[in-house]
């Protein structure tokens, strides 16, 4: 019988898992990459208090299972509380880029693989590399334009053969679709979200922060950017059914006839 106590008070973030030691009451911060040596959610893990005058073992449980872009957005609340406004803007822009990348993995890899009768993991990995090579140098603006174009155009691949062709045909210099094209999307729930995403200037604000200006945003600017980013990405994630786990789509026996992926 394991008698190691469980940490009740905890804070989880994209990089760290912080927990209050049940023995001494001091907080230990465990970095996922360096201390826990895993980037997977922590369902249960025995650790030792990092305080030099304690060092006793305890257990951490109940990690976040949100997508990466969602965790980055949630991190901003603590960043704002600590008045790290510049880092908040960086996290929000990064969250958008991570969201775009997730969308392409899901639509061009996970769903086609799950729906393919002749599933070939080696072929999935080859297409994944081709996708990575296609978009690895894309800026924020091009990733957003490509995302908008793919959603507006519709016609998601039904299997790995179509996925391979779709990846090969991705434009190198995508452009934002016109508002009229966005408004023609049959799924009316998507229209205001896509238009809001197209109009967002979080990438411009991020560039002002990281480049020569080293711009220091105000709390009001950051709060507005956080509210905007969350109000766009969270509904899109839910409506498009985006999960960074191919097994989720396998369990659901995914079919590309799902109305959330056919937009036109």
- Closest-CA residue to 145 (of 185, 168, 174, 171): 174
Instruction: Output the CA–CA distances (angstroms, integers) from residue 253 to 117, 170, 257, in the order listed.
Output: 11, 27, 12
What average pLDDT does the structure give for the chain? 93
Whether 1 has a pLDDT exceeding 70, the answer reads no
| pLDDT for position 257 | 44
| pLDDT for position 251 | 86
247 and 171 part of one domain: yes
Whether 260 has a pLDDT exceeding 60, the answer reads no
101 and 225 part of one domain: yes
Whether 164 has a pLDDT exceeding 80, the answer reads yes
Token representation of residue 129: 């590399």
* Within a domain: 5: no
Share of the chain above pLDDT 70, in %: 95
153 and 40 part of one domain: no
**Residue 152's pLDDT band (boundaries 50, 70, 90)?**
very high
Q: Whole-prediction pTM value?
A: 0.91
* Within a domain: 254: yes
* Within a domain: 197: yes
pLDDT tens digits for range 166-186: 999 999 999 999 999 999 999
For residue 5, give every residue at least 6 positions away whose Cβ sits within 8 Å of its Cβ, in sequence order, or none: 22, 23, 58, 59
* Within a domain: 1: no
Q: What is the mean pLDDT of residues 70-77?
A: 98
Compute φ and ψ for 28, nearest 5 degrees.
Answer: -115, 140
| pLDDT for position 256 | 46
**Residue 259's pLDDT band (boundaries 50, 70, 90)?**
very low
**Domain range enclosing 30:** 10-61
Helical spans, DSSP H, in 46-84:
68-81
| pLDDT for position 49 | 98
92 and 52 part of one domain: no
Q: What is the mean pLDDT of residues 29-44?
A: 96
* Within a domain: 2: no
Q: What is the DSSP string of 203-262?
A: HHHHHHHHSTT-----HHHHHHHHHHHHHHHHHHHHHTT--S-HHHHHHTT--TT-GGG-
21 and 134 part of one domain: no
* Within a domain: 159: yes
Helical spans, DSSP H, in 106-201:
111-115, 121-135, 140-153, 160-168, 179-183, 190-199
| pLDDT for position 263 | 34
| pLDDT for position 254 | 58
Number of domain units in the chain = 2
40 and 135 part of one domain: no
């Amino acid at each position: 019988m394991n008698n190691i106590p469980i940490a009740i008070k905890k804070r989880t973030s994209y990089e760290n898992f912080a927990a209050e030691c049940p023995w001494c009451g001091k907080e230990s911060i465990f970095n996922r990459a360096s201390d826990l040596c895993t980037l997977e959610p922590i369902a249960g893990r025995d650790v030792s208090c990092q305080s030099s005058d304690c060092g006793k073992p305890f257990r951490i449980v109940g990690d976040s299972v949100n997508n990466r872009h969602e965790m980055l957005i949630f991190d901003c609340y603590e960043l704002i509380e600590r008045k790290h406004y510049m880092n908040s803007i960086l996290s929000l822009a990064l969250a958008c880029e991570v969201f775009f990348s997730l969308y392409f993995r899901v639509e061009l890899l996970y769903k086609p693989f799950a729906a393919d009768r002749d599933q070939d993991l080696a072929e999935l990995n080859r297409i994944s590399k081709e996708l990575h090579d296609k978009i690895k140098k894309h800026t924020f603006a091009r990733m957003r334009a490509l995302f908008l174009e793919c959603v507006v155009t519709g016609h998601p691949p039904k299997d790995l053969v179509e996925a391979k062709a779709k990846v090969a045909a991705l434009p190198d210099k995508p452009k934002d679709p016109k508002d009229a094209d966005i408004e023609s999307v049959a799924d009316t729930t998507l229209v205001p979200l896509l238009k809001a995403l197209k109009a967002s200037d979080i990438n411009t604000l991020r560039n002002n922060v990281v480049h020569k200006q080293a711009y220091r945003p105000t709390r009001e600017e950051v709060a507005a950017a956080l509210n905007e980013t969350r109000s766009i990405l969270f509904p899109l994630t839910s409506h498009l059914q985006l999960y960074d786990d191919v097994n989720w789509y396998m369990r659901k026996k995914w079919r590309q006839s799902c109305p959330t992926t056919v937009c036109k």
